[in-house]
Amino acid sequence: MRIEADLKLGFKDVLIRPKRSTLGSRSQVSLERTFKFRHSQKTWTGIPIMAANMDSVGTFAMAAALAELGLFTAARKHYAPEEWDAFVASAPDPRWLAHVAVSTGILDSDLAKLDRILERHPGLAFICMDVANGYSEYFVERIAKVRARHPERVIMAGNVVTGEMVEQLLLSGADIVKVGIGPGSVCTTRVKTGVGYPQLSAIIECADAAHGLSGQIISDGGCTCAGDVAKAFGAGADFVMLGGMLAGHDEGGGEMLERDGQKFVRFYGMSSRTAMEKYSGGVAEYRASEGKTVTVPYRGPVAETVKDILGGLRSACTYVGASQLKELTKRTTFVRVAEQHNPVFDP
Ligand code: 5GP
């Protein structure tokens, strides 16, 4: 046994220190970024915020809405090839397809389905290889296999939380590594297993490793408000993935409930009992569910929420004098804090 004694930090442990700036207004801030990916050599331009590949978040309706706003969606993996056909046929322009990833697990059947979808739709440029624990040798082999079969597609893969594993996944064929173990809003990994890594430190360490190899990272999980999204970018994330913050909207198509005249939407982790019963016929004997099922207030169309998040992010850039999102991390100094917001009027 060994203890690493230096304290690792989460979003709640820091604030971004304001800096003198010449920027007049937040309307001068550009949130678009352009990336060139290390293996596929593809270029992408957009606002690097993405919907998580979860039920009632990573839907086709979400992909359509977010693509229109310049954002990205990792589609939930349970869509059938025929459903992809319909989505692609309904896309009014190539932008929709450039702002969505086909998600996959790593079983033979998952990869066969992935091939079927990609063969039919060369315009789908992104693959999201998603496993709860990105540390297995087998996952690394599977990334190499998908890279060999699809040299021209952009592969995002995860999840991991440490620099050496980011390097391993990038060297094995991933263009972008997804970072986060345990911070998610409906994730119970940390309580069920004791395993995890505070998200802000994970971003800082993994971004450093990835950028050294011309790779990118996605900060996945743990953002509770626009300020956390700003902190994730400030820490060095190239993309930020959101589940809970994008749940509860029309585009998610989740189950609606009504309580005391108020509308709610059901939202659950993809390793929760709810998800396992839906897709795997129950929770297998040898494993525990590592996700929960919650209800979130119904929030209408997602465009309003996105406007709020982008407004907060532009404002954060203005406070530190970053005229483009790209500059935010260079201009960020975090201060460690023992308080965040004033709770006096909290319900
Ligand atoms: P959020 O933005 O809601 O805080 O986090 C979203 C992320 O939580 C997802 O992208 C995914 O990485 C993770 N996640 C989703 N469902 C589960 C689950 O059932 N268990 C765990 N451990 N993580 C989950």
User: Which of 186, 192, 271 most suits a substitution to test ligand 1, by most atoms within 8 Å of the C-beta?
Assistant: 186
- Look at residue 34 and give its three-state secondary structure: strand
pLDDT on residue 22: 87
d(CA 266, CA 261): 16
User: Which of 130, 187, 271 most suits a substitution to test ligand 1, by most atoms within 8 Å of the C-beta?
Assistant: 187
pLDDT on residue 71: 98
Q: Tell me how far the alpha carbon of residue 185 lies from the centroid of ligand 1, in angstroms.
A: 6
d(CA 275, CA 283): 9
d(CA 54, CA 51): 8
Q: Is the peptide bond before 53 cis (omega within 30 degrees of 0)?
A: no
Which of the residues 187, 206, 223, 317 is marked catalytic?
187
Q: Tell me how far the alpha carbon of residue 63 lies from the centroid of ligand 1, in angstroms.
A: 18
Q: In what order do the strands lie in the sheet with 293-297?
A: 256-259, 262-268, 293-297
What does the block give as tokens for 132?
Answer: 């709860």
Q: Tell me how far the alpha carbon of residue 64 lies from the centroid of ligand 1, in angstroms.
A: 22
Locate the ligand 1 atom nearest the alpha carbon of residue 290 and give its number.
Answer: 20
pLDDT on residue 26: 80
What are φ and ψ of residue 17, in 5° steps? -80, 130
User: Which of 270, 273, 278, 280 most suits a substitution to test ligand 1, by most atoms within 8 Å of the C-beta?
Assistant: 270
pLDDT on residue 27: 82
Contact yes or no for 175/40 (Cβ under 8 A): yes
- Look at residue 254 and give its three-state secondary structure: coil
d(CA 64, CA 72): 9
- Per-residue DSSP letter, 56: T
The candidate with the shortest Cα–Cα distance to 76, out of 100, 55, 51, 91, is 55
pLDDT on residue 324: 97
Q: Tell me how far the alpha carbon of residue 1 lies from the centroid of ligand 1, in angstroms.
A: 29
Residue 206 is a catalytic residue: no
pLDDT on residue 281: 84
The candidate with the shortest Cα–Cα distance to 241, out of 336, 176, 297, is 176
Locate the ligand 1 atom nearest the alpha carbon of residue 271 and give its number.
Answer: 19
Q: Tell me how far the alpha carbon of residue 242 lies from the centroid of ligand 1, in angstroms.
A: 9
The candidate with the shortest Cα–Cα distance to 258, out of 294, 302, 293, 297, is 297
What does the block give as tokens for 185?
Answer: 């809003």
What does the block give as tokens for 72?
Answer: 């990205």
| Rounded to 5°, angle at Cα 128 from 77 and 286 | 60
Residue with tokens 């079969």: 149
Q: Alpha carbon of 78 to those of 31, 75, 82, 103, 104: distances in Å?
A: 31, 9, 11, 8, 8
- Look at residue 61 and give its three-state secondary structure: helix
Per-residue pLDDT tens over the stretch 76-97 = 999 999 999 999 999 999 999 9
Four-CA torsion 324, 67, 219, 22, nearest 10 degrees: 10
Q: Which residues contact 186 (CB under 8 A, 6 or more apart)?
A: 243, 244, 267, 268, 269, 272, 291, 292, 293, 294
d(CA 339, CA 15): 9
Report the interhelical angle of 163-172 vs 137-149 (nearest 10°): 30
* Low-confidence residues in the chain, pLDDT < 70: none
Q: Which residue's CA lies nearest to atom 4 of ligand 1?
A: 184
Contact yes or no for 147/173 (Cβ under 8 A): yes
What are φ and ψ of residue 335, in 5° steps? -110, 135
User: In the structure, which protein residues have their CB atom closer than 6 angstroms to any atom of ligand 1?
Assistant: 52, 54, 132, 159, 180, 184-187, 189, 220-223, 241-245, 269-272, 290-291
Contact yes or no for 175/195 (Cβ under 8 A): no
- Look at residue 261 and give its three-state secondary structure: coil
Counting every residue written for the chain, the total comes to 347
Q: Tell me how far the alpha carbon of residue 49 lies from the centroid of ligand 1, in angstroms.
A: 15
